[in-house]
Amino acid sequence: MSHIILGITGSIAAYKACDIANELTKEGHSVKVIMTKAGAEFVTPLTFMTLTKNRVYTDVFDNQDPGNVEHIALAKEADLFVVAPASADFMAKAAAGIADDMLTTALLAYRDKPVLICPAMNTNMYENPLTQRNIGILKDIGFGFVEPKEAYLACGTVGRGALAGVDDILERIHVLVR
């Protein structure tokens, strides 16, 4: 059994993270979900708490155990850090080393273990040179990626930016936690 952090950011694809969390939990992994404020606008923390049987983390200042610095404890415990869906905003913060929420703070505390990023956004956002630069920075420091697919997007256009298939993401996770 592996300890997996599953980060959820602001993307309509957040609903697919429910399937990822559910599958990993059924397989016996301990899944701790960290949601950004925007991610929690798409799917509620209660959904992930019910699926994983674990507390969902949304606020770095909502530390429920005064003897435990939660973002540090989560990072130490985890064997794998997955962000699915990963928004352009999250990737920009991660590439710049900005830690202004529970997800980015935990990511900075997580070291020397695998990180898997699964982007999901509008095609123009994904193909923007700034986003591509940030992806390049994250790849250069060793983050793994499951690239988005081309599909009909929520904005009504067809293009690259849709979250990769849940099965493709799970396949990559299985390779990293064996």
Q: Helix crossing, 129-140 with 88-96: angle to 10°?
A: 50
Decide if 118 is catalytic.
no
Catalytic residue among 130, 155, 158, 175: 155
pTM for this one? 0.95
Q: How far apart are alpha carbons 124 and 121 in whole angstroms?
A: 8
Q: How does pLDDT run across 30-57, given as a tens digit for each residue? A: 999 999 999 999 999 999 999 999 999 9
- The closest of 147, 34, 36, 32 to 79, measured between CA atoms, is 32
**CATH number of the domain bearing residue 158:** 3.40.50.1950
Least confident range from 5-14, 76-85, 102-111, 151-160: namely 151-160
Can you give the residue range of the structural domain that contains 154?
Answer: 3-176
Please calculate the CA angle 144-72-36 and round it to the nearest 5 degrees: 65
- Structurally, the chain folds into a number of domains equal to 1
pLDDT in the model for residue 69: 81
Element (H, E) at 31: strand 30-35
Confidence label for 16 from pLDDT (cuts 50, 70 and 90): very high
